[in-house]
Structure 1
Amino acid sequence: MGPDSVSVSSWDALRAIGRRPGAGARELAASAFRSEQAFGTLAGRLVAQGLVDTDRRPGHGRRFEHHLTQNWRAAAEGGS
């Protein structure tokens, strides 16, 4: 899977996460011009595809932090 095989919405979300690793859904949704709910649904699909990791860290309440995975980085750089 490479950058050409993701939708425009997914690409926007991945770029937003790449620019702001560790950001929460509210901030990323605004960057990707999506509602928070739409971004959450999209992020769930990206997690299922192995392109994004989300985690919760102490002190942030229910907020998930978003990070690109090594799978995405390898695909974006022309790997498999």
Structure 2
Amino acid sequence: MTALQSVPIFSEVHEDTLNALVTAAEVKELVRGDVLFNEGDEPNSLHIVLSGRIAIVMISGVDDRESVVALMDSG
């Protein structure tokens, strides 16, 4: 069983397809404060949180203040 099988969107995907996805995947380990992507970046990848939590943050154009707009848990 791959880690992807525990993600609801992949639960019904055939094992061969999951194995191909895992082979093509790039695992990134992030720590607090790391940036995964920025607003306006080209949408050319899919990100799956396998463990932990990430925050979706918007920065005010007026005073550069950060506002958390969403928290995403694993899955």
Category of TM-score, reference length = shorter chain: under 0.3
Flag the structure with larger Rg: 2
More strand by percentage: 2
TM-score when scaled to structure 1?
0.25
- Greater fraction of residues in helix: 1
The one of the two structures with greater contact order (alpha-carbon pairs below 8 A, sep at least 6) is 1
